[in-house]
Chains A and B, each alone.
Chain A
Amino acid sequence: MSSSHSYGPRPWTFYVLAALFVLFVIFLYGPMIAVLILSFQGPSAALVFPLRDPSLMWFDELFNPRRVGDVVGAFSRSLPLALIVMILTVLVSVTAGFAFRRRFPGSGTIFYTSIASLIVPGLVLSIGILVTFRYLGLSAGWYTSGLGAHLSWAVPFGLLVMFAVLGRLNPSYEEAAYDLGASRWQIVKSVVIPIVFPGIIAVALFGFTLSYDEFPRSWLTVGSKNTLPLEIWTMTTNVTSPALYALGTVTTVVSFIVIALSLSSILIIQRRRSR
């Protein structure tokens, strides 16, 4: 361990843990890569290796609602829902994150309520929101009860990310700017936002992906029209063709695009700042 700083020879534990890490990464990505490859399966429709006559037919099959289900419709609901959840998560958790920089009467209650909302089993909350909407005489829909269910999980996550981000925003920076004669707005614009902005992108990433992939909380709350994870869930029991893998590939690619966009914009901002 001391050698990790004096840059001497690496201890044997380094090699053991490095091997563990590599195995873990294979464990993490191996199955996903298998699905990615098998989604190009040919007309043999085999769900396992080997890959015979690679083709794009199963991607084509996704647009055939009689065979597979309403994938396009599910996607057209999941995407806007994820975007709405993303925007609201950013607004709510960023403002709340700033409030928590000081202790105020009730801060503990609100904090522990948010943590409880994060760890309450998704099914329990799903039932609760469904029952609430029934009592209010409202019918469940993805943009009402579904949205609320997703927020109850994405917002506390965003809050946790904000805690990590604001932990690095030392109040003395703002005080120094104030002492140098900066106005409130100038402090926010030139001190706070540059430090916090990458964190806000991270919050947005959490908001989007947590909603886009959420299943247990969506289960009872999205109403009669499925979101994408629910559609995939029904497919796991109905569809026994590589179309399922093709859908897996498509959703994973969407997720990866979102992740890549977020991470690279964080990287660009960091690099610009260090200049």
Chain B
Amino acid sequence: MNAGTDANRKSLLSTYLQVTPLTVVMLLFFVVPVALVVLVSFFRYQMLVGIVPQFTFKNYIDLLTNPTTWSLYGSTLKFTVIVLVITFVLGFWIAYFLVFHVRNLLTAIGLFLVCTVPFWTSNIIRMISWRPVLGREGLINTALIDTGIIAEPLDWLLYSDFSVVVAYVHLFTLFMIVPIFNSMARIDKSLLEAAIDAGATRWGVVWNVVLPLSKTGIALGALFVVTLVMGDFFVVSVMSGGLSGSATSGMFNDLQFLNYPRAAANAVILLVVVMLIAFSIFRLVDVRKELVR
């Protein structure tokens, strides 16, 4: 009895030792920095001096009473919703195809890797690579003119909301495919056969069996896509040619004037919005229970 609890205590100790490096990294490079951002967001800014440690709500009042903040958040939320819908539809059906339609497991894994390889390459390069495709003299315009479909090149293909959405979908659909694929691969295929034998239609199976059983993957994918789009500055500024802003644009401007307090307040507002969305996703699905088994 005694020996049992002793061994238990010993293994608990080794568990804590195993998790110590992670805890240290998280404390040093995530918890402390974010806590300091929150702290600094309540400090005063003075030209030439920078951060003055005097408590104030001014940064928040400035931001929340400024209509620009609201319109930037509005535009970011619009992009988020559009991209979320497109990446979900694409991600769901591509994962569905790989898991339920490709008969050979090795082929499925191979095709899955084809989808994931670009994830391991540079985002900036993938973004820039749309220029020779969508530009005024790009591949699409040239093709459309050569085939006589249009007479003048389309201007809205590049440096527009359209190209921003294209780049987001290009960069972030992987974040939907991978977790949904993971969830779907765990579905016992005999469940689907049972549903069919019980008289379900093929749509019924997708709607009532596959979709509910993939919800962890969908939730994780949505979490990634939402936070990536909400926190993005660089895709919007490159792909819109500086025409559109994002929730982070204000932060960017403040930093150029070394106005850390207001940049921090901006960051905190963004963080609160992102965390609220993440929290509501976690309310819907117990992600941990599904991940750690």
Contacts and interface: CB of A to CB of B under 8 A. Distances in A.
Interface of A: 1-2, 4-5, 7, 10-11, 13-14, 17-18, 20-21, 24-25, 27-32, 34-35, 38, 47-49, 88, 91-93, 95-96, 98-102, 104, 107-108, 110-117, 119-125, 127-129, 131-132, 135, 148-149, 151-152, 155, 159-160, 163-164, 167, 205-206, 209, 212-213, 215-216, 220, 228-229, 232-233, 236, 244-245, 247-248, 251-252, 255-256, 258-259, 263
A132 B36 CA distance: 7
Contacts of A98: 18
Give the bracket for the number of chain B residues in contact with chain A. Answer: 35 or more
Given A48-B137, A232-B125, A21 B231 contact: no
Interface stretch (B22-30, B65-73, B77-85): B22-30
B202 A13 contact: yes
5 contacts: A4-B101, A95-B21, A117-B30, A124-B270, A232-B122
Contacts of B125: 32, 35, 232, 247-248, 251-252
Contacts of A104: 12, 15-16, 19
Residue among B37, B117, B205 with most chain A CB within 10 A: B37
B44 to A, nearest CB: 15
Contacts of B238: 236
A162 B28 CA distance: 22
Contacts, number: 269
Contacts of A95: 18-19, 21-22
B113 A121 contact: no
A92 B98 CA distance: 32
Interface string B257-288: 00010011001001100110010000000011
A21 B287 CA distance: 28
Given A160-B291, A232-B124, A28 B115 contact: yes
Nearest to B97: A17
Nearest to A154: B25
Given A96-B22, A124-B34, A216-B232, 19 more contacts: A35-B125, A48-B142, A96-B19, A107-B19, A110-B22, A120-B30, A120-B227, A123-B252, A127-B260, A128-B37, A129-B33, A131-B33, A152-B30, A155-B25, A213-B121, A216-B231, A216-B234, A251-B121, A256-B121
